Amino acid sequence: MSPGVAAGTVRIFDTTLRDGEQAPGAGLTAAEKLEVARQLARLRVDVIEAGFPAASPGDFEAVQRIARETRGSVAVAALARCRDGDPQRAVEAIRVAERPHLHVFIATSDIHLTHKLRMTRNRALAEARRWVTYGREQLGPDVEIEFSAEDASRTDVDFLLEVYEAVVDAGASTVNIPDTVGYAIPAEFGALVGRVVALVGRDATVSVHCHNDLGLATANTLAAVQAGARQVEVTINGLGERAGNASLEEVVMALRTRPTQFPELVSHVQTEQITAASRLVSYLTGFTIQPNKAVVGGNAFAHESGIHQDGVIKNPLTYEIMTPQSVGLSGSQLTIGKLSGRKGLQGKLRELGHEVEGEALDALYREAIALADAKKEVTDADLLALVEQRAAEVPASVSLLGWSVTSSGGGRSTGSVTVTVAGEERSADTTGNGPVNALYGAVDQAIAPVLGWHPVLAEYEIRAVSAGEDAQGQVLVRCRRSSDSGKGALTVSGHGLSTNIIEASLDAYLVAINKLHGAEISSVRAAFVGRAPAEEMP
């Protein structure tokens, strides 16, 4: 049994909001991070790593807000380098949490020590011991203090073991073994974990944090559990740096589906919430889940081959090793009509993994009924899209009052818009190469004199929410300000949803504009989360 982890339990440490958000283009606002944290709490993960407070004022605020609002059995973790300034900010951010969890790290491989930190092994060891001791002194004897040896899988094993022994002696209650660059192979990684467990497993929980550069993150994580690790660091959808992290849904469902391989080991995860969590993270980050993704991909429970279909009809176990219901899929489609009631809608949303009530339920009900007027049927996918759209709402200082567009084959389109910008009504019309281009140009022309900039469109994507000619269209855009340039320029995402794809395109553009405008205001700027250099993360 590992100290701090109940016997027979694997602790699920979710780092979607920290390492997952380091995936290029996956930045979230503080409000969006809180929404994901709420879903992670419903998922019943054991630890939410909320961010890296020293990275920016925005990340500090987001971590502190999540720490303040997350209650119950879920711990809230903050990451800090073993460097003066970082641990102090992390402690300040999570001190308000009901269950704070401080996570400090330093690189230990010679390649990192020589080329990145320009530090000797002895100095790294001293810094690790120093900041673990600091965390223990600041937070007391009962708070979880975790230490990570960055790039552990490429570290000299004797030195790595020396470091782990030293930090446990200094007060670390969890030691983490990161495969930071996805270099390890399951057999060797399991053997390494076994050595760490044998050395410090009686006094500390052994954790692993695996990356997917060779496609082995889940395999390495499971090998580590078999070798005695009792905490796994994972992300929703495997989101993360480069090729990503070990996928929460894959690790958790492997533990559940193959109990004989993990005798008497369980997680506390409410697996029926997996699909809802997966969709929410995908929506807010704009990272589409590939159809063949294990557990949560669109094809994970789809069968096209006649032989497979015949087998599944006779007994689903012939080709399904888990049920759709076990990960939060209903296995059926719901049709909502004009006569559908609020209670029925609420029950179906609960089936789909979303607890909605009060004013939020009333608003969703109105939207669902309006959608039923616009299309033949409202499916599960339509309902989920409506829920996700509301989760991503942002304060609107720029609002769309009206629009019109004319377009013909072989000719240019003319778009006209009327908007309010900080309370001022403005109209503009322009021509463009197609209706969306013309309308975006009109919006730019209307807002630029007031804001001093216009959006620069970096990405535009359309997808159908459901099948049929009357399907809702979901539009994703990524934009930056025209006044910004260079590598550090803030890029935000915007989503739009409508049966009218032009309207969805405008809505998405306005969401992105409002996010960019919000980032300009000093009191709101802290709501946009930055990140530390990728090479300084485990």
Digit-coded pLDDT (tens) for 316-333: 777 778 888 888 876 544
Instruction: At 99, list the tokens.
Output: 């269950």
Distance (Å, rounded) from C-alpha 34 to C-alpha 62?
Answer: 7
Same domain, 425 and 337: no
Same domain, 49 and 110: yes
Range with the poorest average pLDDT among 14-18, 346-350, 490-494, 504-508: 346-350
Same domain, 96 and 173: yes
pLDDT level of residue 226 (50, 70, 90 thresholds): very high
Distance (Å, rounded) from C-alpha 32 to C-alpha 38?
Answer: 10
Q: Environment class of residue 390 by beta-carbon count within 10 Å: exposed (0-12), middle (13-18) or buried (19+)?
A: middle
Distance (Å, rounded) from C-alpha 379 to C-alpha 374?
Answer: 13
pTM: 0.75
Write down the pLDDT at residue 107. Answer: 98
Write down the pLDDT at residue 109. Answer: 98
pLDDT level of residue 340 (50, 70, 90 thresholds): low
Instruction: Among 292, 326, 353, identify where a domain stops.
Output: 292
Same domain, 337 and 383: yes
Same domain, 436 and 457: yes
Q: Kindly state the average pLDDT of the residues 311-316.
A: 68
Q: Is 527's pLDDT higher than 90?
A: no
Same domain, 413 and 370: no
CATH number of the domain at 448, please: 3.30.160.270
Q: Kindly state the average pLDDT of the residues 484-505.
A: 83
Range with the poorest average pLDDT among 101-105, 269-273, 331-335, 346-350: 331-335
Distance (Å, rounded) from C-alpha 467 to C-alpha 486?
Answer: 40
Same domain, 496 and 361: no
- Asked whether residue 453 is assigned to any structural domain, the reply reads yes
Lookup result for tokens 């090479």: 535
Q: Is 523's pLDDT higher than 50?
A: no
Summary count for the chain: helices (H), strands (E):
17, 14
Average of per-residue pLDDT values in the chain: 88
- Asked whether residue 300 is assigned to any structural domain, the reply reads no
Please count the structural domains in the chain: 3
- Asked whether residue 4 is assigned to any structural domain, the reply reads no
Domain assignment of residue 350, given as a range: 306-391
Same domain, 208 and 341: no
Same domain, 119 and 167: yes
pLDDT level of residue 2 (50, 70, 90 thresholds): low
**Secondary element (H or E) of residue 426:** strand 424-432
Distance (Å, rounded) from C-alpha 283 to C-alpha 352?
Answer: 15
pLDDT level of residue 5 (50, 70, 90 thresholds): confident
Write down the pLDDT at residue 195. Answer: 98
- Summarised one tens digit per residue, pLDDT across range 291-306 is 889 998 877 776 545 5
Instruction: At 220, list the tokens.
Output: 């390495």
Write down the pLDDT at residue 520. Answer: 61
Q: Are 307 and 313 in contact (CB under 8 A)?
A: no
Other Cβ atoms within 10 Å of 469 Cβ, number = 8
